[in-house]
Amino acid sequence: MNTFFDQSSYEIKLEWGIRGAREAAKREEILIIVDVLSFSSTVIAAMEKQAVIYPFPPPINEKAKKYADQLGADLVVGRAEAIQTGKHSLSPNSFTADDRGKSYVLCSLNGAACVDAAKKVPALLLGSLRNAQAVAEAALEMKKRIGKPITIITCGERWESAVTEENELRPAIEDYLGAGAIISSLDGSLSPEAFVCKQAFQGTQHELSHLIRKCGSGRELTDRGFTEDVDYCLQLNVSSIVPVLSENKFISFEPSYPLTLF
């Protein structure tokens, strides 16, 4: 990767999508994956109910089903199938207190794909609006302990029916504003990319709920009948859960944990 684009002289950086996650992983940095609607938020919701989540790259297919069977876990399905079958989905509200101690394999086109692209890093955390301050504090603790920069990965969405050689990434403001919320609680030198992201959040914080409800991703979920999911995901700093990838599953960050767990 051209060093012009690696933001190498800064402690806090920002990248987009799967390619950004892969490049940050090559630099062996601390990564915060942000997929507000709704991989990050759904993992947090599941862990709040004390479920165990194993991320798996998309698509949801026979390979994913076989992986879930090997783990003795349930495979999380798409929202439409979940409505018909009553199974769990990427809807954070599909997890309840009955899921305590149960294991689930969770795929998503964006969040899980970024996790898979960057899983071999010193530390990989999930961030959202719900845990923005908590994940920033956890990342700073890791930065202090291992001396690595922090890169926030805004996952974005994918365009449907992209043609050959066409970029599939569709930047998503909910992820950008979620990243900005996290950066606002981080200490350290900001790359220009991270600085502008922080300013975007701070300049629109008073309109956060309206903007996310009315953005493309918010309207898509609302039109499909998942208004409650959007309402859940746009809440700011209401959770202390910080999912950290440990081998093949997420555990909740605790400052006392040895770094070998991550």
Count H helices, E strands: the chain?
11, 11
Domain containing 175 equals 9-42+110-247
Q: Would 35 be classed as within a structural domain?
A: yes
Q: Would 187 be classed as within a structural domain?
A: yes
The CATH number covering residue 142 comes to 3.90.1560.10
Q: Would 60 be classed as within a structural domain?
A: no
Q: Would 175 be classed as within a structural domain?
A: yes
Cβ proximity of 127 and 155 under 8 Å: no
Cβ proximity of 116 and 245 under 8 Å: no
Q: Would 51 be classed as within a structural domain?
A: no
Q: Would 159 be classed as within a structural domain?
A: yes
What does each of the 262 residues of the chain score in pLDDT, given as a tens digit?
Answer: 456 567 778 999 999 999 999 999 999 999 999 999 999 999 999 999 999 999 999 999 999 999 999 999 999 998 888 888 889 999 999 999 999 999 999 999 999 999 999 999 999 999 999 999 999 999 999 999 999 999 999 999 988 877 877 888 899 999 999 999 999 999 999 999 999 999 999 999 999 999 999 999 999 999 999 999 999 999 999 999 999 999 999 999 988 777 766 7
Q: Would 214 be classed as within a structural domain?
A: yes
Cα Rg, the chain, nearest whole Å: 17
Rounded to whole angstroms, the Cα distance separating 147 from 14 reads: 18
> Cα 140 to the chain's mean position, in Å?
17
pLDDT value of residue 164: 78
What's the domain count of the chain?
Answer: 1
Phi, psi of 127 (to 5 degrees): -125, 155
DSSP string, 135-155: HHHHHHHHHHHH---EEEEE-
pLDDT value of residue 159: 87
pTM of the model: 0.94
Q: Would 2 be classed as within a structural domain?
A: no
User: Do β-strands 30-34 and 150-154 pair in parallel, antiparallel, or remain unpaired?
Assistant: parallel
